[in-house]
């Protein structure tokens, strides 16, 4: 059925397209600018600054060449980030879904009490200091790679999302399996998990994104550069002359000769690229996932 | 007693399945909660959290005597209120606008672009900022080519609240809008059809159907945000303001302060006191806010 649009509807449509279009541009232009900047010649950046466009005279791939000449720094950091993201996400999904499943079972007598036991930690916390002391003094987190994985392993919010999703799976599924003699873990693993694919896709995205973008734990726990991940390496290249010196030493150049401005942007593009390129494929799940996430626990 | 053991035995597999999360939450949430005793101690590394000598409220005296903590609290609170307020207006606004757009391709691209900033880390945001606003940044290039003097927001502490609100909106609006968009998708079409028959125009439909239907979602989002109203977004403030002393006048928050003290000050007890002070403020806020909602609109409470 096609309803003829009144004047107000046309006015509103125009407004919607213009505002949304402008805001979308506002969001995406900065990305365009760093890509342009990363392909700009260092001398051109120094004399006339970054620009909206790059022409034949100022075009250069020097910064990327330089970035890829230092595999010790960049490839290594990539390796750390990928390792931490894959292991961390897999473990976190397991803990999150198994906990969410038990607390969603209506025949589990302590579900409300235990749920509150978890939820309370989101209302009150001991703060950064006791947590940090525990991790460094008692759990030996300093300079170990597990200190990048463990802090992200469990989140009460994700668990609440898992719990409310699993509440939506009919309890008869569990009951029928129990009558057939299936154990609780078997039911979780073989029956519930395969039905929770949208949930798993969503959680994977949230958790993997958090691991991929983490620099905080690296900054807290890694005093030596051995286990630095991608974001923290990037932060160091952006902020410290030290990191530039290290790169210069690896490429056999003086710090002054490095295309340091362009290099910063090239590194940013390299560190962000995979997530942004993956994004169109993830968008569908992400929107679905947020819908899940918006459900009250 | 024996009944409890019987019950536990019956559910032993389910209980066992809770063990990983249980250990995690005890170790990383409840033990640190007990560790707030550090705030009342003269902490030294050798004696550790529980064996260091007590020193009563001395740490809180140190913390409050400089008055700095009150400036930090004010900054944190005002920034968060601005983020919540402007964030909600933009998120709800763009969700409503997006829901009215019928062109699928336009909608998909617009939504995709709006969502993009959510995917990057604050480290990357910091580079982007420098690229646009830095000494060699795009804005200064344009000013320079027009023969105007360079302008650096990095020397303008008074402007930073505005800058940070804009960055925040840039990064989070796409994400928030999708949450509200999902809620809009759940509104029954019958309501709109009935309104059309009664001769309602677009504005009236938004005002009397869409916005009221979003109320539960808005309430939950605001309550969740209020629970963290005294917690600054560490990543944002640390990466964008960094150690720029000039900007810190207007853009230092409790979290960046606690982190700096933790890494530079030998007085661990006082740093812990700052953290405890913050936790208590957050806890009181969320309990009071939830209590008020319980009185006014019992369906929308968080707990």
Tens of pLDDT, residues A211-221: 999 999 999 99
Low-confidence ranges of chain A (pLDDT < 50): 1-2, 295-297
| Distances B107 to A11, A14, A292, B113, B191 between C-alpha atoms, Å | 18, 14, 21, 10, 24
List the beta bridge partners of residue A40. Answer: A59
Neighbours of B156 (CB within 10 A): 15
| Distances B229 to A128, B10, B88, B104, B286 between C-alpha atoms, Å | 17, 43, 14, 37, 9
Which residue has tokens 């909608």?
B107
CB nearest B275 (choices: A128, A156, A216): A128
What letter would DSSP give residue A40?
A: B
pTM for the full predicted model: 0.91
Residues 65-94 on A with a CB inside 8 Å of B are 94
Let me know the angle formed at the C-alpha of A108 by A105 and A112, rounded to the nearest 5 degrees: 90
CB B139 within 8 A of CB B133: yes
Domains delineated in chain A: 68-293 (1.10.3720.10)
Name the nearest CA neighbour of B171 among B219, B241, B233: B233
The helix (run of H) or strand (run of E) holding residue B239 is: helix B234-240
The pLDDT assigned to B290 comes to 92
pLDDT at B162 over 70: yes
The pLDDT assigned to A188 comes to 95
What letter would DSSP give residue B14?
A: H
**Residues B119, B91: Cα–Cα separation, whole Å:** 17
Percent of chain B clearing pLDDT 90 (strictly above): 58
Which residues on A lie below 8 Å from B235 (Cβ)?
216
The pLDDT assigned to A296 comes to 43
The pLDDT assigned to A2 comes to 46
Neighbours of A55 (CB within 10 A): 9
CB A99 within 8 A of CB B21: yes
Query: Over the range B205-214, which residues count as b (16 or more CB within 10 Å of their CB) and which as e?
Result: bbeebbeeeb
ipTM score of complex: 0.91
For residue B82, the distance in angstroms to the closest alpha carbon of chain A comes to 19
A113 touches chain B (CB under 8 A): no
The pLDDT assigned to B256 comes to 93
SS3 B41: strand
Name the nearest CA neighbour of B276 among A123, A125, A122, A137: A125
C-alpha B291 chain-centroid distance: 21
Nearest CA in chain A to B277: A127
| Distances A69 to A60, A61, A64, A77, A242 between C-alpha atoms, Å | 16, 12, 8, 14, 17
pLDDT single digits (tens) A96-144: 999 999 999 999 999 999 999 999 999 999 889 999 999 999 999 999 9
The pLDDT assigned to A258 comes to 65
For residue A127, the distance in angstroms to the closest alpha carbon of chain B comes to 5
Q: Which of B13, B20, B21 to mutate to test the interface with A (most CBs of A within 10 A)?
A: B21
> Phi, psi (5° rounding) for residue A40?
-100, 140
The pLDDT assigned to A297 comes to 38
> Phi, psi (5° rounding) for residue B54?
-70, 150
Which residues on A lie below 8 Å from B229 (Cβ)?
none
The pLDDT assigned to A256 comes to 64
CB A46 within 8 A of CB B131: no
Evaluated on CA atoms A244, A250, A252, A258, the torsion sign reads negative
Domains delineated in chain B: 44-120+158-300 (1.10.3720.10)
Average pLDDT over residues B210-239: 91
């Amino acid at each position: 059925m096609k309803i003829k649009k009144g004047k107000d509807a046309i006015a509103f449509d125009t407004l919607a397209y213009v505002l949304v279009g402008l805001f979308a541009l506002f969001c995406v232009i900065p990305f365009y600018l760093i890509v342009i900047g990363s392909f700009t010649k260092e001398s051109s950046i120094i004399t006339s600054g970054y620009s909206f466009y790059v022409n034949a005279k100022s075009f250069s791939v020097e910064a990327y060449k330089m970035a890829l000449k230092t595999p010790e720094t960049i490839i290594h950091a990539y390796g750390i980030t990928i390792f931490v993201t894959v292991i961390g996400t897999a473990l976190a999904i397991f803990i999150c879904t198994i906990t969410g499943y038990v607390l969603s079972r209506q025949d589990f007598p302590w579900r409300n009490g235990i749920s509150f036991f978890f939820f309370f930690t989101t209302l009150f916390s001991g703060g950064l200091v006791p947590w940090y002391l525990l991790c460094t003094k008692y759990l030996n987190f300093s300079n170990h790679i597990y200190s990048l994985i463990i802090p992200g392993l469990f989140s009460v919010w994700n668990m609440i999302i898992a719990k409310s999703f699993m509440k939506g799976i009919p309890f008869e599924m569990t009951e029928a399996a129990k009558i057939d003699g299936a154990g609780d873990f078997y039911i979780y693993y073989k029956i519930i998990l395969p039905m929770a694919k949208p949930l798993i896709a969503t959680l994977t995205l949230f958790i993997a994104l958090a691991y991929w973008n983490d620099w905080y734990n690296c900054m807290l726990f890694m005093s030596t550069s051995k286990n630095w991940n991608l974001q923290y390496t990037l932060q160091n290249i952006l902020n410290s002359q030290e990191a530039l010196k290290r790169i210069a030493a690896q490429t056999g150049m003086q710090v002054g000769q490095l295309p340091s401005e362009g290099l910063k942007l090239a590194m940013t593009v390299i560190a962000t690229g995979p997530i942004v390129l993956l994004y169109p494929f993830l968008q569908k799940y992400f929107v679905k996932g947020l819908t899940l996430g918006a459900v009250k626990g | 007693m024996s009944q409890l053991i019987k019950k536990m035995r019956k559910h032993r597999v389910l209980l066992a399945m809770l063990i990983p999360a249980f250990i995690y939450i005890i170790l990383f949430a409840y033990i640190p909660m007990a560790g707030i005793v550090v705030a009342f101690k003269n902490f030294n590394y050798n004696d550790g959290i529980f064996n260091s000598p007590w020193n009563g409220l001395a740490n809180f005296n140190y913390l409050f005597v400089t008055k700095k903590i009150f400036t930090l609290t004010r900054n944190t609170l005002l920034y968060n209120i601005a983020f919540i307020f402007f964030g909600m207006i933009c998120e709800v606004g763009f969700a409503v606008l997006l829901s009215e757009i019928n062109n699928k391709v336009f909608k998909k691209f617009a939504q995709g672009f709006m969502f993009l900033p959510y995917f990057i880390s604050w480290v990357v945001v910091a580079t982007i900022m420098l690229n646009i606003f830095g000494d060699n940044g795009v804005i200064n290039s344009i000013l320079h080519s027009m023969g105007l003097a360079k302008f650096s927001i990095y020397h303008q502490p008074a402007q930073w609240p505005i800058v940070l609100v804009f960055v925040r909106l840039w990064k989070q609006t796409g994400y928030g809008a999708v949450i509200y968009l999902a809620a809009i998708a759940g509104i029954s079409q019958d309501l709109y059809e009935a309104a059309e028959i009664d001769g309602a125009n677009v504005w009236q439909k938004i005002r009397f159907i869409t916005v009221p239907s979003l109320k539960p979602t808005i309430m939950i989002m605001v309550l969740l945000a209020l629970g963290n109203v005294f917690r600054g977004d560490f990543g944002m403030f640390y990466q964008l303001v960094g150690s720029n002393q000039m900007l810190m006048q207007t853009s230092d928050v409790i979290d960046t302060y606690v982190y700096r003290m933790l890494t530079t000050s030998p007085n661990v007890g006082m740093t812990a006191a700052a953290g405890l002070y913050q936790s208590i403020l957050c806890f009181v806020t969320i309990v009071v806010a939830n209590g008020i909602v319980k009185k006014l609109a019992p369906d929308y409470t968080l707990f």
